[in-house]
């Protein structure tokens, strides 16, 4: 039952094959069994059981709230959840209990979803491994798959069973692991530079990044205001579409959400890719790309071609600069956003009372880890008066060039872009930590962040079925048209795969 | 009593900064000079903490320097991908609020309906200054 899709389980609930309480308890017990994955920071057991009970009452009366009623979901711990601790995996917010729900969380709850808990992440969503939070790293469930264990046995004998576990990718690693381990049917992540798609790729689940402005950021503790979006992690594309349908739309509490009405939609059951034009950006053929990912990428392109789609090579000329541009803009906005953590109104506060400045400085030193401090300092450097023009403004100009690259490609008749999500499959933790966070982020975000800067792109990572280990592809489409059309390109592509 | 605890706390921090920057290699070609370090620590209210952090910043700057190779003549900076749209403005009516109690619950130090802060307008000690409050 837990391995089913959201839609299947929802049908089972509606038909009475299982009750929300039973489902909730199964998930809770699986969460306990998979505690070693460290996917959850907080498991909201009582809240979940209460929500499940209410859902059951609704089903009994025949008043279910829809497809999400009674469905266990998890939420990344940088979304504010009323009365449930929200830490962002940082000492700065340990013990912080928000007085309100993030809009996306509220929407899920309003549709009857059952909140299993808050998932683990890199501290303040900064990182690409989910290894740098204060609650420890998240382990990829695939580390315990038969295939991987056999591969490890062949390689090294007498090695400690658990020493070579794989990372989940990040920063929404906890959400991805929670979904991949069947402890919930959907999870919320956040995506600033790939933080939903990267762990989705490494954990073999679907990671969906909506276009900027489609889903409300109210209640998502901000990293980069101009690029953050809530992300959706599920086990299949259809499930992601269901969740997106519930979350998309204008929110008066987030003025960066677009005001265009969002029409309800469903994915077609059969796909016709004859009219689809798929672009393969040549600059994404990076030398560091692993041979497995490269071959999977070709395989997917060939598959589409054999089904009748037109597959052409396209160019995004500024690709090689996008990671640098992202790095400057991200650290600059981070420097600004992290300024709110001063210990006065919420969060950690140290004991120094000499002066406000001394108290702020010590609080921030104690509350933030090296990664966060490093980004704040980098951002502040780029924002110094003497550097502002040469770094920050320059990066904003390059951002426009990158966004224009995408506009030009999509204006030339291409409907979707097909690219890898990551350079290689998930690596072992011991290997990942050999480089620092900034280096890793620069390497791992290479395919994903350009789309965050262009903003108007819908992106997702789709797992290859039957893969030995999760391999992922990235499908990007673009449109200024209302949402149904935006998804059109994706829909057909997904169903074919 | 509190003054001594404070002195100890500050002393270790100030001591680090003194010791650390005196070891700064004068021949380091980096942009992150001792002056810049001090300036940034004051602005960001986040300290570097170690030589490694400075080295990391230098690497980050070197990485960002790659942007110079891009020709951006005549290109306008892009602040938001939604620049072609009008920002939503709601009408100026009070629809929520009155939740002072809830908001104060998350603060460590509160007096009635006030957040309590240490005295302001006192700058962080400079590196070459004597320890503050040593006369206390």
Evaluate if residue B121 carries a pLDDT over 90.
no
Q: What is the least distance, in Å, from the CA of B70 to any CA of chain A?
A: 7
Give A 54-93 residues with CB within 8 A of chain B.
none
d(CA A80, CA A225): 16
Lowest mean pLDDT among A39-53, A194-208, A362-376, B121-135: B121-135
- CA separation for the pair A187, A240 (Å, rounded): 10
For residue A286, the model assigns a pLDDT of 84
Segment A455-470 shows an average pLDDT of: 46
Q: Is the pLDDT of residue B136 over 60?
A: no
Q: Which residues of A touch B32 (CB under 8 A)?
A: 381
H helix or E strand, kind and range, residue A62: none
* DSSP label at residue A388: I
Test B63 with A442 for CB contact under 8 angstroms: yes
User: Scanning every residue of chain A, which has its alpha carbon at the shortest distance from the alpha carbon of B5?
Assistant: A352
A1-4's contacts with Cβ under 8 Å and 24+ in sequence apart are: A1/A26, A2/A26, A2/A27, A2/A30, A2/A182, A2/A183, A3/A182, A4/A185
Q: What angle do CA A222, A223, A224 make, to 5 degrees?
A: 105
Contact B49, A365 (CB under 8 A): yes
Report the residue of chain A nearest B119, measured CA to CA.
A355
Once rounded to an integer, what is the mean pLDDT over residues A204-215?
90
Q: What is the dihedral of CA A104, A211, A253, A191, to 10 degrees?
A: 60
User: What is the spatial distance between Cα B111 and Cα A61, in angstroms, rounded to a whole number?
Assistant: 49
CA angle (A452, A275, A261) in 5-degree steps: 50
Instruction: With cut-offs at 50, 70 and 90, classify the pLDDT of residue A455.
Output: low
Residue A59 above 90 pLDDT? yes
**pLDDT value of position A444:** 74
Contact B124 A361 (CB under 8 A): yes
pLDDT tens, position by position, B93-109: 998 889 999 999 999 99
Question: Picking from A75-79, A126-130, A484-488, which range would have the lowest pLDDT averaged per residue?
Answer: A484-488
Task: Identify whether the C-beta of residue A181 lies closer than 8 Å to the C-beta of residue A141.
Answer: yes
Instruction: Give the domain ranges of chain A.
Output: 6-269+478-496
Question: Is residue A58's pLDDT more than 70?
Answer: yes
pLDDT tens per residue, range A395-439: 999 999 999 998 899 889 888 888 888 877 778 888 888 877 777
pLDDT tens, position by position, A316-336? 999 889 899 999 999 999 999
Quick one: what percent of chain A has pLDDT higher than 70?
89
ipTM of the complex, rounded to two decimals: 0.83
**Is position A171 annotated as part of the catalytic site?**
yes
**Residue A394 neighbours by CB under 8 Å, 6+ apart:** A328, B67, B68, B70, B72
Closest by Cβ to B64, choosing from A327, A370, A400: A327
Give CA angle at A312 (A448, A456), nearest 5°: 35
User: What residues in B contact A370, CB-CB < 8 Å?
Assistant: 49, 53
Q: What is the pLDDT of residue B14?
A: 47
User: Going along A227-383, which residue ranges are E strands?
Assistant: 229-234, 277-281, 310-314
Q: Which of A215, A257, A378 to mutate to test the interface with B (most CBs of B within 10 A)?
A: A378
Higher-confidence position of A68 and A466: A68
Average of per-residue pLDDT across A311-315: 94
How far A213 CA lies from chain B's nearest CA (Å)? Answer: 8
Right CATH for A6-269+478-496 from 3.40.50.300, 3.30.43.10, 3.30.930.10, 3.90.1300.10: 3.90.1300.10
CB of B24 within 8 Å of any CB in chain A? no
Indicate the pTM of the whole model.
0.86
DSSP states of A392-437: IIHHHHHHHHHHHHHHHHHHTT--EEEEESSSSSPPBHHHHTTS-H
Lowest mean pLDDT among A56-60, A257-261, A283-287, B20-24: B20-24
Judge contact between A126 and A334, C-beta under 8 A: yes
* CB proximity B37 to A under 8 Å: no
Query: Which range has the top average pLDDT, A11-25, A251-265, B118-132?
Result: A11-25
């Amino acid at each position: 039952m837990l391995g089913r899709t959201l839609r299947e389980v929802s049908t089972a609930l509606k038909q009475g094959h299982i009750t929300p309480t039973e489902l909730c308890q199964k998930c809770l017990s699986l969460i306990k069994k998979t505690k070693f994955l460290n996917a959850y920071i907080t498991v909201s057991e009582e809240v979940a059981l209460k929500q499940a009970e209410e859902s059951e009452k609704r089903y009994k009366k025949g008043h279910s709230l829809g497809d999400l009623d009674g469905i266990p979901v998890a939420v990344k711990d940088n979304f504010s959840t009323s009365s449930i601790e929200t830490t962002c995996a940082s000492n700065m917010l340990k013990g912080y209990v928000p007085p309100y729900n993030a809009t996306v969380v509220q929407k899920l709850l309003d549709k009857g979803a059952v909140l299993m808990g808050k998932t683990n992440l890199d501290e303040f969503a900064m990182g690409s491994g989910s290894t740098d939070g204060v609650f420890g790293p998240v382990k990829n469930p695939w580390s315990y798959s038969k295939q991987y264990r056999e591969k490890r046995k062949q390689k090294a004998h007498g090695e400690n069973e658990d020493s070579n576990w794989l990372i989940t990718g990040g920063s929404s690693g906890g959400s991805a692991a929670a979904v991949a381990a069947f402890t919930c049917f959907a999870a919320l992540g956040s995506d600033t530079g790939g933080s939903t798609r990267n762990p989705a790729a490494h954990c073999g689940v679907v990671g969906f990044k909506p276009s900027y402005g489609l889903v409300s950021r109210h209640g998502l503790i901000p990293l980069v205001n101009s690029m953050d979006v809530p992300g959706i992690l599920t086990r299949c594309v259809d499930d992601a579409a269901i969740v997106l349908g519930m979350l998309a739309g204008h929110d008066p509490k987030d003025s960066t959400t677009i005001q265009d009405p969002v029409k309800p939609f469903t994915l077609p059951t059969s796909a016709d890719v004859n009219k689809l034009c798929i672009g393969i950006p040549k600059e994404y053929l990076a030398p560091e790309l692993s041979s497995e990912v490269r071959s999977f990428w070709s395989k997917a392109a060939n598959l589409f071609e054999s089904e009748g789609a037109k597959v052409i090579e396209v160019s995004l000329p500024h690709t090689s600069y996008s990671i640098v541009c992202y790095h400057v803009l991200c650290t600059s906005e981070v420097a600004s956003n992290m300024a709110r953590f001063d210990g006065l109104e919420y969060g950690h506060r140290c004991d120094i009372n000499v002066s406000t400045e001394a108290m702020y400085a010590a609080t921030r030193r104690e509350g933030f880890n090296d990664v966060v401090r490093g980004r704040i300092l980098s951002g502040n450097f780029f924002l110094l008066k003497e550097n502002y023009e040469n770094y920050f403004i320059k990066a904003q100009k390059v951002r426009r060039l990158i966004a224009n690259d995408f506009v030009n490609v999509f204006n030339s008749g291409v409907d979707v872009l097909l690219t890898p999500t990551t350079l290689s499959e998930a690596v072992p933790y011991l290997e990942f930590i050999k480089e620092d966070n900034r280096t890793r982020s620069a390497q791992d975000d290479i395919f994903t962040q350009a789309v965050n800067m262009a903003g108007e792109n819908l992106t997702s990572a789709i797992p290859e079925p039957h893969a030995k280990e999760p391999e992922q592809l990235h499908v990007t489409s673009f449109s200024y048209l209302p949402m149904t059309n935006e998804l059109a390109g994706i829909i057909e592509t997904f169903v074919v795969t | 009593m509190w003054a001594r605890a404070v002195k100890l706390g500050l002393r270790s921090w100030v001591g680090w900064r003194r010791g650390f920057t005196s070891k700064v290699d004068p021949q380091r070609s980096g942009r992150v000079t001792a002056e810049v370090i001090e300036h940034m620590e004051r602005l960001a209210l986040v300290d570097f903490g170690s030589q490694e952090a400075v080295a990391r910043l230098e690497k980050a700057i070197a990485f960002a320097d790659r942007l110079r190779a891009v020709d951006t003549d005549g290109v306008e900076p892009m602040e938001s991908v939604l620049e072609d749209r009008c920002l939503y403005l709601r009408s100026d009516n009070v629809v929520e609020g009155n939740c002072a109690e809830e908001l104060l619950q998350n603060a460590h130090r509160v007096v009635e309906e006030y957040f309590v802060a240490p005295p302001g307008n006192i700058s962080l000690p400079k590196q070459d200054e004597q320890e503050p409050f040593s006369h206390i």
